[in-house]
Chains A and B, each alone.
Chain A
Amino acid sequence: MDSASTQPVELGSPVGTPVALPPASTGVEIPAALLDTLWSEAEAGSLELSREAFAQKLRAVGAKYNCGLAPGQRPSPTQVETFYRALQLRELALAHACALGREAAWEQFLQRFRAPLIQAAIAITGSSSLGQDLADSLYSELFGLTERDGQRRSPLASYSGRGSLMGWLRTTLAQRHVDHHRRTRRETPLEDTDVAATPSAPTPTTEALSRLGESLAETLRALAPEDRFLLATYFLDQRTLLEISQLICIHESTVSRKLKHLTAGLHRQLLKRLQASGMSKRAADEALGTDPRDLDLNLRNLLQAPTVEAFSNQAKSSGTKQT
């Protein structure tokens, strides 16, 4: 599941070669007046990006994200305009022009993002040399040196303009770094490194352990996605409250409070489930005091078990996905 991917997600073209654009009919209809305005605001003309090329990119983005609406909803003209005006138009035009191999766009890209890209890579790797290597690797990839099916591909084509281009570059750098790390290092399971401790308490019976394991699995599965995210980042990834709070844009104390409520709620739910399975309250309390090493459970797998229900209606495959 954690297979990394370095494949570009959209087709690009080598610099200076013509690009086979997708048909214009696929995408959201953009009024001509709005398109002119967006094209002017994006300063796409200075990037050697034609109006039609920019319109195709806008349509593709609008169709991919349904103009910011939930799937199945049809956007109104106002919603279409709001969605497009909220995009980072200049950076979208720059990225698309770079993906199309426009010389002027690359000059501007290098001027603006070359140094920040190296700094971000150094920050991610924690090393100047590794950071420089990572940045160079990504730069060549962005330039379209990678070929697939006889065509050069640039990851810049996957930039949608919803976030900043620099943020996209940072995330791409982080993804490449994680992929590289996972390829070059062997992942060792925690179970192998754990040293068995001397049991200080009598080991519960096998039946009690089985009930406890089942109850724990059910309780964790019943958690909301956001709750599982908090538990996973805090207890599995060992992230700090500050890191979590900055990522999900809530206050650090709120994260702490939520975690406290979550663990307390988990305890209560476990007690209920154990009692419902036939254990007395005292026996349930004792079972909760069981040494976790006595349990034949992989909490990481339990906590990170994908919620099938959430994706059951998303069986469609897409070429834009990474595998």
Chain B
Amino acid sequence: MNDLLQPGQHLDPDQLNAFVEGVLPEHERRESLAHLADCAHCRQIVFLAQQAQQANEPVPVKAATTWRDWFRFHPLSMLGAASAALACALIVTVMLHLHHIAPPPPPATETAKVEPVQSLPPVAPREEAPIAMPSVPERPAAKAIPPPARQSLALSAPPANPIQGGAILADTSTNEDNARVTTQLRRAEPTAPAPSPAAPYIPSPSAADALAGASVENLPANGRAFLSRRTEVTGSITQTLQAKAGLRPLPSKLPIATTASSGALILAADSVGTLFVSKNDGEPWQAVEQQWQGKVVRLALAPRAIDQIASQKQQTEAKNSTDNPAVAPSSFQLTTEAGVIWISEDGMHWRQQ
């Protein structure tokens, strides 16, 4: 078609029209453009033709965007897709990086967070001051109760000072021989020493909880409880929610409100105050005939029993014996809702103090 473009000649209307309508091949378009750059006459013609075309033909209204338009190839759409992919990759990279530099979760034996706390049953308040734990004989054949709530606890990083801010803390300990693993909730006190992550176990005597009269704490509605487990080396009671959850259910099918144990002998009162006793760590339970007025609100070991347990533990440690399942007799005491205290040695027969 090169004979169409000669120096000093103009493009014919067919060529100009093809240029205006954009149907020329690329090489012809370049040549036509070069000619138009030099020829004002042909430029005038193409602009006039274009003007007439626009005057006679209505401006096409762009159709509404359909879903097909989203998938139609377009250089700008490809650019947008590439930008979106780059942004996504950047976000994922940042998230992975943040995940990498985040502090590792605390060891399972340190602290754990429990929420929601509203599901915890209300329990009586107890004293906060830890009591120096007397040496008690170790219970050789004590059965370790697995902490059922541990799996459900959300692990969290240990706070710098876990006893600040009124958080409820609990001491934690690992299983030891002849030890019963229970969990204890305790409201943190500003004056209490902060446990270090390296030594997460606070040897607070569980018997002191019994003496204090309560081992669980009412939790604030919006509070968070940091739980830790502690080894009960005394073989006495440490009543916690988790310990309750580890026991077999009571025949009344009601939740355990309070419990006390001495060796394999366990007393438990349900939420309506009915007392049950078990001589074999909760199986089977046997209902205790009610000899008092009102319902039982609290179970504990008598002070004399604590002394006995402490001395028994000392003897056991001295002998380093693990095959002695015997547990010295001890006294239980229960408190009714009227505040009357009853005493029993076997859990079945009670007398008013």
Contact = CB atoms under 8 A, between A and B. Distances in A.
A163 B48 contact: no
Interface residues of B, number: 48
B37 interface: yes
Interface stretch (B7-15, B79-87, B155-163): B7-15
Main secondary structure on chain A at its contact with chain B? helix
A315 B10 CA distance: 14
B1 A171 contact: no
A149 interface: no
Q: How large is the interface on A (under 10, 10 to 19, 20 to 34, 35 or more residues)?
A: 35 or more
Contact of B17 (A9, A170, A313): A170
Contacts, number: 183
A237 B33 contact: no
Contacts of A68: 25
A2 B53 contact: no
A317 B30 CA distance: 20
Output the residue of A9, A116, A175, A308 with the most chain B CB within 10 A: A175
Contacts of B27: 70
A315 B8 CA distance: 11
A321 B50 contact: no
Contacts of A308: 7
B31 to A, nearest CB: 7
A290 interface: no
A146 interface: no
A162 B9 contact: no
Contacts of A5: 10
A233 B43 contact: yes
A163 B12 contact: no
B33 A226 contact: yes
Interface string B208-230: 00000000000000000000000
A114 to B, nearest CB: 13
B56 A171 contact: no
Nearest to A177: B48
A305 B50 contact: no
A171 B45 contact: yes
A70 to B, nearest CB: 5
A30 interface: no
A167 to B, nearest CB: 4
Contact of B52 (A86, A174, A246): A174
A304 B44 contact: no
A246 to B, nearest CB: 6
A172 interface: yes
A245 to B, nearest CB: 11
Interface string B52-86: 11111000000000000000000000000000000
B41 A304 contact: no
A1 interface: yes
Interface of B: 1-10, 12-14, 16-18, 20-25, 27-28, 30-31, 33-34, 36-41, 43-56
Given A2-B41, A321-B4, 20 more contacts: A9-B12, A71-B1, A71-B2, A86-B23, A121-B52, A158-B14, A163-B14, A168-B13, A172-B13, A177-B48, A232-B37, A246-B54, A247-B46, A304-B38, A306-B7, A307-B34, A308-B7, A310-B34, A316-B3, A322-B12
20 contacts: A2-B40, A71-B1, A119-B55, A119-B56, A120-B53, A120-B56, A123-B52, A123-B56, A124-B48, A158-B14, A162-B24, A170-B17, A171-B49, A225-B37, A228-B34, A246-B54, A311-B7, A316-B3, A321-B4, A322-B9
Closest 10 CB pairs of A and B: A225-B34, A229-B37, A318-B3, A123-B55, A174-B48, A228-B37, A171-B13, A171-B17, A123-B52, A2-B41
